[in-house]
Structure 1
Amino acid sequence: MFFILSKILAFLLFPLSYVFVLLLMAFFAKNVNRKRQYLLWGIGLLYFFSNSFLINRLARAWDVAPAQLEKNKTYSAAIVLGGFASDDSDGHGMFGPSADRFIQGVLLQKTGRVKYILISGGNGNLNPTAFREGAWAKYQLKAAQVPDSCILIEDQSRNTLENASLTKALLQKHGQRGPYLLVTSAFHMRRSARIFKKMGVDVIPYPCNYIAGTGDFGIGELVPSADALNKWSTYIKEIIGLVVNYISGRG
C-alpha cells in the first residue's frame, strides 16, 4: 500500500500536474477575469519550473558532495542502487540517464577499492514486467569482466526502503561487514543514505551522476527547458520522499 501511495503522491507533485490543472481550470472558467488569472498562473508556473537557473542552484545545494575515501583502504562491498536501467521494446534491458551508478560500481571493483559489487534493484513500476534490473545488471557486470565471485545481486526491491532491507539481509547472509560504499546518484544520496543508516546498514555515501552542471551562469539557463522540468520532478520527489520517510520513522 505504501508503495502504491508513494507513486500516486509523486505524480500529484510533479510540476506539470500543477500547470495542467491551472490550464484546465482556465478552460472551464466562465468568468473572463478568472480565466485570465488561471492562464497567467499556469504560464508563470510553467516558466518557473522550466527555468534551469533556479533548479540548478537548488540541485547544487541538495546534492551530496563527492566522497573522500581513505587512501589505500579496501571496503567489503559497493552497494549500487538500481534506477540506471529499464526494459526496452524487446524486453532485453538498456542503460538510462543514471548509468553512472553502474559505471562507478565497476570502477570501484576494478581499482580494488571494494571486494564485491552488490546491485540492488528489481522492478519499481506499478504494472511491472518480467524485467528485473538486478538480474539484467549481472550480465552487464560479467560483460565488463567482473568475476562472478565478486557479484551479489538483489533483484526483488521496488523502492529505496526495500533496497535497504533486502540488501541488509543479503550482506548478512554472505557475512560481509561494513562500512560499505553506497553508490547512487547525487540527487538520491541524501534520502537513500538516511534510509540505509536507519535500517542499521553502515554506509559511506559515494555519490555520482551529478546533473546540476558546473555552477557558472549562462544566459541559456533563462531559456525554458524541458530538461529543467525533469530535474524539478526529480528533486521534488526526493525532497518529499525524505520528509515522508522522516515523519513515518523510515529514514
Structure 2
Amino acid sequence: MFFYLAKAVWFVFQPSTFIALLIGYGAILIWTGWARWGRRFVTIGAILLLVVGLSPLGNALILPLEDRFPRADLARPPAPAGLIILGGAENRLVGGARNAPTLNEAGERLVEGAILALRFQDAKVAFSGGDAGILYKSGSEALGAAELLAQLGIARDRLILEANARDTYENAIYLRKELEASGAFGDGARWLLITSAYHMPRSIGAFRQAGFDVEPWPVDYRTRGPQDLSKPFDKVSEGLRRVDTAMREWVGLLAYRLTGRTDALFPSPDRTGDSQG
C-alpha cells in the first residue's frame, strides 16, 4: 500500500508536475468567471518555472544529500566481504524491447560495482531491484543486472540476486533475508553499499533500520561541490529535473521517518549525530 500511495502522491506534488498543473489550471480558469484567479495561477506558475528551472536551486537542494556520506576507506582492513548494488540504473522497458543493456544516468551504480568486484575478487556481489513500474511492467532489474555484470567479467557464482524490491526500504528488508538464506550474512562482515550519492542518506537509514550495518560507497554525483551553488542551469528541463530528484529524496526521508522505515530523519556517518526529528 505504501508503495502505490507514495507513487500517486509524488506524481502530483513533484515540483515539475505541480508547476505544470498550476499553469494548466490557471489557463482553464482564464476562460471562466474566475479569470482573475486564472491569471494569478499562470503568473505564479511561470515565475516558479523560471526560478526552479534556471536558478541553482536544484544544486542547493541536492548538495547536502550528496555530501552527507563520504566514501568508505577501502585501505582499511579487512577487505569488504560483499558489495551491495541498489537498482535504479537500468531502463528495463527499453532494454527489454531492444534486447540490449540500457543504462540511465545512474548507470555508475552498476559500473562502479563491477569495478569494485574486480578489485576485491573474494567479495560477494549482491544486487537488489525488482520491477517498480506501475503502468508499464518491464521485469525485474536483477535479471538485467546479472547479465550485464556477467558480461563485465563477474563470475555468476559470486552474484546474489534479490528480484522483488520496489523501493529502498524493501531493498534493505528483502536483501537481508536473501543474504541470510544464502549464508552470506554474518556479524562483523564488511559490506559496501553502492548507490547514487543523493540517495545514500535514505538508503543508509533504511539498512540500519533493517539491522544491516553497511558502509557507503556513493556514486552518480550530480554536482561538483559548493562551487555549483552559484551555477545556474542553461536548460529549464535540467533545472526542473534536478529539483525533482532532490525533493524526492527530502520528501522520502521525511516519509520514511514518519513511517518507521529509517532510523533517523537525516542519517549521518556518525550515528550518534543523527537528527531523530
Q: TM-score with structure 2 length normalisation?
A: 0.83
Letter in 1 for 2:65: W
Match of residue 71, structure 2, among 32, 56, 67: 67
Q: Distance in 2 between matches of 1:33 and 1:127?
A: 37
1:235 and 2:246 correspond:
yes
What is the match of residue 199 of structure 1? 210
1:47 and 2:50 correspond:
yes
What is the match of residue 2 of structure 2? 2
Q: Tell me the alpha carbon deviations over residues 3-42 of structure 1, each in whole angstroms, 9 at most, x when there is no partner.
A: 1101011112211222223223322143554333222201
Q: Distance in 2 between matches of 1:141 and 1:110?
A: 10
1:36 and 2:8 correspond:
no
Q: Structure 1 residue 191: deviation in Å? A: 0.5
Letter in 2 for 1:112: F
- Within a 5 Å distance, the mapping from 1:156-195 to structure 2 comes to 156-176=164-184, 177=186, 178-195=189-206
Deviates more, 1:150-159 or 1:51-60: 51-60
Secondary structure in structure 2 of the residue aligned to 1:205: strand
Secondary structure in structure 2 of the residue aligned to 1:94: coil
Q: Distance in 2 between matches of 1:242 and 1:140?
A: 31
Cα 1:59–1:114 change in 2 (3 A) is farther
What residue ranges of structure 1 are gaps of 5+ in the alignment?
none
Percent identity of paired positions between Structure 1 and Structure 2: 24
- Within a 5 Å distance, the mapping from 1:45-124 to structure 2 comes to 45-63=48-66, 64-71=68-75, 72-87=77-92, 88=94, 90=97, 92=99, 93-112=101-120, 115-124=123-132
Contact 1:74 1:113 in 2 (8 A): no
Q: Distance in 2 between matches of 1:219 and 1:130?
A: 39
Cα 1:129–1:91 change in 2 (3 A) is farther
What is the match of residue 25 of structure 1? 25
Q: Distance in 1 between matches of 2:257 and 2:249?
A: 12
Cα 1:77–1:14 change in 2 (3 A) is same
Q: State how many pairs are aligned.
A: 251
Q: Structure 1 residue 66: deviation in Å? A: 3.0
Deviates more, 1:174-183 or 1:141-150: 174-183
1:211 and 2:222 correspond:
yes
Letter in 1 for 2:102: M
What is the match of residue 152 of structure 1? 160
The structure that is strand-richer by fraction is: 1
Q: Structure 1 residue 127: deviation in Å? A: 3.2
Secondary structure in structure 2 of the residue aligned to 1:131: coil
Contact 1:75 1:113 in 2 (8 A): no
Q: Distance in 2 between matches of 1:236 and 1:209?
A: 17
1:15 and 2:23 correspond:
no
Deviates more, 1:235-244 or 1:112-121: 112-121
Cα 1:73–1:107 change in 2 (3 A) is farther
Q: TM-score with structure 1 length normalisation?
A: 0.91
What is the match of residue 136 of structure 1? 144
Secondary structure in structure 2 of the residue aligned to 1:84: coil
Alpha-carbon RMSD: 2.1
Q: Structure 1 residue 159: deviation in Å? A: 1.1
